[in-house]
Amino acid sequence: MVDYSKFLADRTKYMKASEIRELLKLAEQGNVISFAGGLPDPATFPKEKLSKIAARVIEEQGDMALQYGPTLGVTQFRNILKQFMRRNNVKVNDNDDVIVTTGSQESLYLIGKVFVDPGDYVLVEAPTYLAALNVFRQFGAKFASAPVDENGMKVDVLEERAKKLIKEGARIKLIYTIPTCQNPSGVTMSRERRKHLLELAEELDLLVVEDDPYSFFSFKPVDAEPLKTMDKSGRVIYLSTLSKILSPGMRIGWTLANSEIIRSLELAKQAVDLHTPNLTQYIAMEAIKEGVIDEGIERAKKLYKEKRDIMLEALEKYFPEGSSWTRPIGGLFIFAYLPKGIDTKKLLPEAVKRGVAYVPGQSFFAEGGGENTLRLNFSYPPIDLIEEGIKRLGNFFKEVLNK
Amino acid sequence: MVDYSKFLADRTKYMKASEIRELLKLAEQGNVISFAGGLPDPATFPKEKLSKIAARVIEEQGDMALQYGPTLGVTQFRNILKQFMRRNNVKVNDNDDVIVTTGSQESLYLIGKVFVDPGDYVLVEAPTYLAALNVFRQFGAKFASAPVDENGMKVDVLEERAKKLIKEGARIKLIYTIPTCQNPSGVTMSRERRKHLLELAEELDLLVVEDDPYSFFSFKPVDAEPLKTMDKSGRVIYLSTLSKILSPGMRIGWTLANSEIIRSLELAKQAVDLHTPNLTQYIAMEAIKEGVIDEGIERAKKLYKEKRDIMLEALEKYFPEGSSWTRPIGGLFIFAYLPKGIDTKKLLPEAVKRGVAYVPGQSFFAEGGGENTLRLNFSYPPIDLIEEGIKRLGNFFKEVLNK
């Protein structure tokens, strides 16, 4: 037999499977109340309308929708996305362009591929989106992070760290941030800190990657513009996705940035997958045009707000003294901090045995720490099981603390 | 303003835009008969049936089809693909597995990502598929190639080159081949050469990447099994796609190989795009189950055979003396060799002006050469324009030769 391992390229060292992912895969199957995933509630999928749209698109525009398409994405769809962003207060400059990607995961990947050389620093929130860390890590990035509080990333801490790094000769390329309803913490960056972040990027000549999957359904108005809108010099690369507001299974993400940047991403994408499926782009385009997404956002907001409220109440009721958690104004996640000494990663297998799952917070911290934290998703679990799940979890943690 | 170029990673040097691609993009728009693309005829798209399938899938299975899915692909679909391959004489071993990719372009990309380190050699046909060369090149591959004749790749030449390289200390990782109805040449590898190729891979302990988008519609039975079927030690990585036999715009490709290899590709894919759209997988699954693809293949065969015949006749009639061309038993392409001294790349702009486009053959040769060659696609151009296009081209080349 062939020894396959001898053929592997060096970079596969970045590609180890996550034990937690494997464990959580199992949890999804059993009789477990799972707060672990990041899935939208399928009740928000506009099945009936999408079904009609899909049928019509294939029948009437099938010659295009089923054929090869441009690497940048379907031209009309890119224009519709620009309108959609403008309606949502995202500034689209004249010299900006849009590339459609296979989920915003691919946007992240292409940005890593185009901009990150081994040893380059990426500045991030602590905690931040795990899959972004993994992508940048694959391209050899190092990280410097700043903690978040209820006003988002502490930009003053970031500034200090960044300036120290530069003095030491480090090369910083990007700031990666999810300013609104962040994953995993749920917090939203204040207007002042956004301003400060952009000034810092300006001063140090850095690019800013603004990942924005959640702002479309914040439960109350966000008292700040997107970084893309506040940016004056074209250094913000804005990404978003239809995964949370229409359907993740369609894998429609996009990047908006200066057209020079988009051109680089296009060349990178050509080799990766030639283009994102035309068919899903055509369906998504009609869904936006016909207002299906706008309606859906309104309905999802109501549902998720209710679920969030139930989870917050249950946390209050059942979580041990000395815990704290974020109170997100939108998004899908609450992040909880347990008393020091509790290790949520070690406790996960036992929690799953007791019928409740979560994501241990540790892996969201680029530079370590967070052993006592966990991420709780409120969008996916059935509304009538949220209290019971948090109760199980709270009781379990109390038990551990009282041992 | 920001100087974006200073942020680019080193590897972007592999990402220069192709002038030819730009020129051909223009050609597609004007009043030009184009033999340049590699597109299926949209008349082969089963629009009516797919329209019904799409509507039903979203209505009845929308909770799954619109939701996130596994990185490997939808489990039932992967099983259906295994059955589909078995029906098409592709051997699926018990310890094999399948990963669904966003077009087979992504299969190629993931293979490059997982297996190719800078300086590794990949052995290829001359000419071979340009996009495969570009992917492997991005990961720093070097190439050694062997010419094709009417029996496919000259494996004895490849053997000699490979052994010489190994003596010189080179590290060879993969043989990349399109054995049946090759792109761009249209030729099919004989049974004997396939046997020889596998023996060589065995002797030198190499992996073999068998790219097989075209064998499903060869116009007469291929007198040979797929390499995957002849392989005895699990060293063949088999890729295929629904792009030519159902719809390229759905971007459904896949890789079949030993499950250890598939596991590596899965880990690589996680970072790239998380997973291929569920929706298109569900639609494709139903299309296979209901026989839509099998029927489509039969209809496409008839249409493409007719188009090929017209092109071959026209070549006979109009191409200059001293030219030769392949006579493919299937696929989408004919490859032509003009008298030495003609440079098809230099002539392309003038050809486009005269209302006909092709792909200059040069870039399909990994190690240079092929200046006098061109690739002609017969699947896409309208049937009644093929003769006229070849006439324009033949007359133009004759004119150049008589100067």
Residue B42: list chain A partners with CB under 8 A. Answer: 62-63, 66-67
Pick the more confident residue, A325 or B1: A325
Flag whether pLDDT at B158 surpasses 60.
yes
Asked if the model's pLDDT at residue A17 lies above 70, the reply is no
Residue with the two structure tokens 């702009």: B349
pLDDT value at position B223? 86
Domain limits for position B235: 70-292
| Three-state secondary structure string covering chain B | CCCHHHHCCHHHHHCCCCHHHHHHHHHHHCCCEECCCCCCCHHHCCHHHHHHHHHHHHHHHHHHHCCCCCCCCCHHHHHHHHHHHHHCCCCCCCCEEEEEEEHHHHHHHHHHHHHCCCCCEEEEEECCCHHHHHHHHHCCCEEEEEEEECCEECHHHHHHHHHHHHHCCCCEEEEEECCCCCCCCCCCCCHHHHHHHHHHHHHHCCEEEEECCCHHHECCCCCCCCHHHHCCCCCEEEEEECCCCCCHHHCEEEEEEEHHHHHHHHHHHHHHHCCCCHHHHHHHHHHHHCCHHHHHHHHHHHHHHHHHHHHHHHHHHHCCCCCEECCCCECCEEEEECCCCCCHHHHHHHHHHCCEECEEHHHHCCCCCCCCEEEEECCCCCHHHHHHHHHHHHHHHHHHHHC
With an 8 Å Cβ cutoff, are B42 and A50 in contact? no
* Alpha-carbon separation of residue A356 from A138, A348, A393, B50 (angstroms): 32, 9, 7, 41
Task: Count Cα atoms within 13 angstroms, Cβ side, for B350.
Answer: 11
Confidence of residue B14 (pLDDT cuts 50, 70, 90): very low
Q: Is residue B161 assigned to a domain?
A: yes
Mean pLDDT (chain A) is 94
| A321 phi and psi angles, rounded to 5 deg | -55, 145
- Domain total of chain A: 2
Percent of residues, chain A, with pLDDT higher than 90: 90
Residues B323 and B236 in one domain: no
Both A247 and A377 in one domain: the answer is no
The answer to whether residue A86 is domain-embedded is yes
Output the pLDDT for position B222: 86
- pLDDT for res A46: 97
Residues A155 and A116 sit within 8 Å (Cβ to Cβ): no
Quote the pLDDT of residue A387: 98
Q: How far is B340 from chain A (nearest CA, A)?
A: 32
Asked if B55 lies within 8 A of A59 by C-beta distance, the reply is no
Q: CATH number for the domain including A183?
A: 3.40.640.10
Determine which helix (DSSP H) or strand (DSSP E) holds A360, and give its type and residue range: strand A359-360
Q: Cβ(A281)–Cβ(A100) under 8 Å?
A: yes
pLDDT in tens, A299-325: 999 999 999 999 999 999 999 999 999
Q: What is the pLDDT of residues A81-109, one digit of tens each?
A: 999 999 999 999 999 999 999 999 999 99
Q: Is the pLDDT of residue B307 over 60?
A: yes
**Does residue B181 lie within any of the structural domains?**
yes
Which chain A residues have a beta carbon less than 8 Å from that of B115?
Answer: 7-9
Are A227 and A343 members of one domain? Answer: no
Does residue A241 contact residue A103 with C-beta atoms inside 8 Å?
A: yes
Query: Within this chain, do residues B339 and B283 fall inside the same structural domain, yes or no?
Result: no
User: Which pair of structure tokens corresponds to residue B349?
Assistant: 């702009």
**Cis bond leading into A381, ω under 30°?**
no
Nearest CA in chain A to B171: A7
pLDDT, residue B161, reads 98
- Tell me if B348 sits within 8 A of B357, measured CB to CB: yes
pLDDT at B58 over 70: yes
In a domain, residue A58? The reply is no
Is the domain of B113 the same as that of B191? Answer: yes
Quickly state the pLDDT bin for A403 (edges 50, 70, 90). confident
Considering the entire predicted model, what is its pTM? 0.96
Task: Show which of B292, B308, B343 is a domain's final residue.
Answer: B292
Instruction: Give the percent of chain A with pLDDT over 70.
Output: 96
Distance between CA atoms of residues A253 and A102, nearest Å: 6
Judged against a pLDDT cut of 50, whether residue B242 lies above it is answered with yes
pLDDT at residue B39 is higher than 60: yes
Q: What is the mean pLDDT of residues B208-233?
A: 93
Dist CA B245 CA B330 (whole Å): 13
Question: What is the spatial distance between Cα B122 and Cα B369, in angstroms, rounded to a whole number?
Answer: 18
Complex ipTM > 0.90: yes
**pLDDT band at residue B367 under the 50/70/90 scheme:** very high
pLDDT of B10 higher than 70: no
Q: Which two tokens stand for residue B61?
A: 């299975």
CB atoms within 10 A of CB B40: 26
Q: Express each pLDDT in A40-93 by its tens digit.
A: 999 999 999 999 999 999 999 999 999 999 999 999 999 999 999 999 999 999
Residue B316 near residue B326, CB atoms below 8 Å: no
B292, B314, B344 - which closes a domain: B292
How far away is chain B from the Cα of A6, in angstroms, using its nearest Cα?
A: 9
Asked if B353 and B393 count as a contact pair (C-beta separation under 8 A), the reply is no
Contact B181, B218 (CB under 8 A): yes
CA-to-CA distance for B242 and B246, rounded, in angstroms?
Answer: 5
Same domain, yes or no, for A35 and A183? Answer: no
Q: For residues B336 and B196, state if they share a domain.
A: no
Give the whole-angstrom CA distance, residue A324 versus residue A318.
Answer: 12
Nearest chain A Cα distance for residue B3, angstroms: 9
Q: Residue A259, exposed/middle/buried by CB under 10 A (0-12, 13-18, 19+)?
A: middle
Confidence of residue A18 (pLDDT cuts 50, 70, 90): low
Q: What is the 3-state secondary structure (H, E, C) of B205-272?
A: CCEEEEECCCHHHECCCCCCCCHHHHCCCCCEEEEEECCCCCCHHHCEEEEEEEHHHHHHHHHHHHHH
Give yes or no for residue A27 having a pLDDT over 80.
no
| pLDDT interval class at A3 (50, 70, 90) | confident
Give the mean pLDDT of B106-122: 96
* CATH code of A363's domain: 3.90.1150.10
Residue A14 confidence (pLDDT) above 90:
no
Residue A341 has pLDDT above 70, yes or no: yes
Count CB neighbours of A59 within 10 A.
16
Residue-level pLDDT at A247: 96
Contacts of B54 in chain A (CB under 8 A): 51, 54-55, 58
The reply to whether A16 and A131 lie within a common domain is no
In this prediction, residue B16 has a pLDDT band, given cuts at 50, 70 and 90, of: low
For A252, list phi and psi in degrees, rounded to 5.
-115, 110
Domain end residue (candidates: B247, B266, B292):
B292
Answer yes or no: do A68 and B248 touch at CB < 8 A.
yes
Which pLDDT score, from 0 to 100, does residue B30 have?
72
Rama region for B143: left / alpha / beta (φ>0; ψ in -120 to 50; rest) = beta
Given a cut of 60, whether residue A225 has pLDDT beyond it is yes
Compute the distance between CA of residue B216 and CA of residue A14 in angstroms, rounded to an integer. 37
- Rounded to a whole number, what is the distance in Å from the CA of B7 to chain A's nearest CA? 6
Q: Are residues A225 and A362 in the same domain?
A: no
- Subunit contact A45:B62, Cβ cutoff 8 A: yes
pLDDT of residue A67: 96
- All residues of chain A having their beta carbon less than 8 Å from the beta carbon of residue B114 are 8-9, 12, 15
- For chain B, the C-alpha Rg in angstroms (whole number) is 21
Q: Do the chains contact at B59 and A68, CB–CB below 8 Å?
A: no
Domain co-membership, A239 together with A150: yes
Domain-located, residue A60: no
Note the pLDDT tens digit of each residue in B172-181. 999 999 999 9
pLDDT at B244 over 80: yes
Query: Does residue A56 belong to any structural domain of this protein?
Result: no
Average pLDDT for residues A342-354, to the nearest whole number? 94
Co-location of A106 and A176 in the same domain: yes
Bridge-based pairing state of the strands B356-357 and B33-34: parallel
Residue B383 burial (CB < 10 Å; 0-12/13-18/19+)? middle
Mean pLDDT of B316-343: 97
Distance (Å, rounded) from C-alpha B306 to C-alpha B167?
48
Q: Do A272 and B105 touch (CB under 8 A)?
A: yes
**Is B271 in contact with A50 (Cβ distance < 8 A)?**
no
Would residue A54 count as lying in a domain? Answer: no
Closest Cα to residue A286, out of A41, A42, A95, A64?
A: A64
Which tokens go with A330? Answer: 């939108």
Q: Are A194 and A215 in contact (CB under 8 A)?
A: no
- Chain B residues whose beta carbon lies within 8 Å of the beta carbon of residue A114: 8-9, 12, 15
Cβ atoms within 10 A of the Cβ of B156, count? Answer: 12
In a domain, B51, yes or no: no
A300 and A288, same domain (yes or no): no
